[in-house]
Structure 1
């Protein structure tokens, strides 16, 4: 009886694991937007921030990769090496670079909301690269397609319509941000900022797709994440040295110039890559990105409370539309997963793809 109960509990934990990891990831990612915005508001260079963030992530992950994956790390091939370089360019250089620039022109809450379009873009790319199947006569496929279109519509609404301004919480920065010159500059750069964030969104979706392909060829998530961060740090350092010639931009102290890169490096460029790779092995890239609305809600509340950011009607309506569309995508993905797990071959394949470090025999 105890054996049966233990097996049942183990099965429930196994089913809940992807959801728990992905939801926890969204809370961590919410802090990323806030720490990044705070660092940029305190005058830190956007390009230098990216370099430090990824360098810290690589240093934080490397010891764990060396210890836990020393026996299971596959040999590096030229194909995987090139893919790691491309991954380092897509996420640290392009995505972070343009997203942070767009965030400076808009706000952290707006950037997190627009980034909810990532699942839709990821879904389209996954279909193009045949990582996602579509059977238009099946209800679950219709749900994924409709959800993708609805999500895109919500993101488009947020881009084209700003609407009246709201303040969820009174903050000392709010009165200052209502100044005429700041408001005029914010309004004039709003569209440009949105386009920069959308470009970062496309790069992030491409990163998810390529990461899901690379992790199958190099199934050592910690090592892969560390290498991606290292490659991204080197490439972003080249960009920073070319674009910013001020040596003082590289100075850090015990303030947001240290706290921001430290948190985002360990959490978003380190732990996040590892969790994404782990969950993608069994659920795919679309599932991982489908929980982004939770991050938007957290960032919106904390951004207004801690940073005094404004919220606009267009962002609220667009965010709600995006959340509805993503729920439809998640529902369709859930039906896909149930069908996949009903196949003995798929179940066996999923079990063999689990990380070796989760096994008590690997010491």
Structure 2
């Protein structure tokens, strides 16, 4: 696949309000719709728990790269057997042309997402880290616009709402970076986390050393927010790339496992180059690593991939606002973490922008079931299900193996 192949592969699949994949492309599961929504709620609560446990592990001195390497290794041990046993009948659809998308999934969703999150978490706190997660669908829209996968018409009300939502989300993120405000809950002197020197962090994710240029230039808090924004952008790219892959290779657990193969290898390589001071993890930090590997990585990522193929990325991302509630509550109850006015105001702006963006996108979709009778709507959907959209034709050229190719397993 050429470097220009990815935008072509993604064309016709706007992320915001994309809804379910075309009929016949998604894995045919017997999951009722309500169970998908319950699963997404569980995923976000699990992520909130992870925010607190990861903070405990980092505060105990566990290196970020060591944490990620062990987490990904545990996830692979859980995902690979599940993929080999549960989706073997679909593996003949795998093609060498999927290698580039798998690499990009691992680079964004695993390496960039995890590493930037841990760096940002250690420099800010669980509440701030969770409050920025709802910006993921907004960054997904931005990425779609940059790649030409979506368009904005300023005269349409839906697009106007999307633009206002983008402004609110960006403004909320900037506010959280530059304004902390008075203490609202908890006890503290205004520092959300100990100084960089106490955490053993440097300006790079490799760790080691003191505060470095980060604390002297942009400050620990601001650098943490920047890292968290990068984390959200990585996840947006992951969701964007994942949809067309699932369109032609409807094996969500295998797609997740392949992303982890790439991401874990890259994480291990970076860790070996960084030479962390210790690879030993014991006690509560070890429990946090196991939870991160089995629950946050293996279970959550697999559930999100299944949900992405079932209800679309906009609905998956819509559940992110549950993370700040779970994370802030647990951090306050378990860690006595302070909550500042800036985090609350910024979080409200981010959440408001999120709902405007998603609402604006959904408002542009014609309500066919109200415009047509039930029978006519059913017939229309049945007829359109047999038609191949332009995006699907592009997918055929980019990632579907030709009849003469040997499929890779």
Q: For residues 142 and 241 of structure 1, do their structure 2 counterparts lie closer, same or farther at Cα, with a shift above 3 Å needed?
A: same
Q: 1:344 aligns with which of 381, 387, 394?
A: 381
Q: 1:159 aligns with which of 166, 173, 177?
A: 177
1:222: which partner in 2? 253
Deviation at 1:180, TM superposition (A): 9.2
Aligned: 1:331 with 2:359: yes
Q: For residues 77 and 182 of structure 1, do their structure 2 counterparts lie closer, same or farther at Cα, with a shift above 3 Å needed?
A: closer
1:285: which partner in 2? 313
Find the residue that maps to 1:166 and give its secondary structure. strand
Q: For residues 229 and 347 of structure 1, do their structure 2 counterparts lie closer, same or farther at Cα, with a shift above 3 Å needed?
A: farther
Find the residue that maps to 1:292 and give its secondary structure. coil
- Counterpart CA distance in 2 for 1:268 and 1:178 is 24
Q: Deviations over 1:128-162 (max 9, x none)?
A: 34555655544444333332322222122112211
Pairwise mapping of residues 240-279 of structure 1 onto structure 2 (< 5 A)?
240-246=271-277, 249-253=278-282, 255-279=283-307
2:231: which partner in 1? 200
Find the residue that maps to 2:91 and give its secondary structure. coil
Aligned: 1:305 with 2:333: yes
Find the residue that maps to 1:250 and give its secondary structure. coil
RMSD, aligned CA:
3.2
Find the residue that maps to 1:92 and give its secondary structure. helix
Deviation at 1:61, TM superposition (A): 1.6
2:192 and 2:338 in contact (8 A); partners too = no
Deviation at 1:188, TM superposition (A): 3.6
Q: 2:264 aligns with which of 228, 233, 239?
A: 233
Deviation at 1:55, TM superposition (A): 1.1
Find the residue that maps to 1:72 and give its secondary structure. helix
Aligned: 1:19 with 2:37: yes
Show structure 1 runs of 5+ residues with no match. Answer: 1-12, 351-363
Aligned: 1:61 with 2:90: no
1:74 and 1:220 in contact (8 A); partners too = no
Q: For residues 336 and 53 of structure 1, do their structure 2 counterparts lie closer, same or farther at Cα, with a shift above 3 Å needed?
A: farther
- Counterpart CA distance in 1 for 2:304 and 2:93 is 22
Deviation at 1:41, TM superposition (A): 0.9
Deviation at 1:204, TM superposition (A): 1.8
2:56: which partner in 1? 38
Q: For residues 20 and 128 of structure 1, do their structure 2 counterparts lie closer, same or farther at Cα, with a shift above 3 Å needed?
A: farther
Pairwise mapping of residues 65-214 of structure 1 onto structure 2 (< 5 A)?
65-129=83-147, 131-132=149-150, 134=152, 136-168=154-186, 188-214=219-245
- Counterpart CA distance in 2 for 1:308 and 1:129 is 43
1:229 and 1:270 in contact (8 A); partners too = no
1:103 and 1:197 in contact (8 A); partners too = yes
Q: Deviations over 1:216-244 (max 9, x none)?
A: 23210011111211221111011001102
Number of residue pairs matched by the alignment: 332
Q: Deviations over 1:302-359 (max 9, x none)?
A: 1111112121111100111112222223334544667478550588479xxxxxxxxx
Show structure 2 runs of 5+ residues with no match. Answer: 1-30, 199-210, 370-376, 388-409
2:402: which partner in 1? none
What is the TM-score of this pair, normalised by structure 2? 0.72
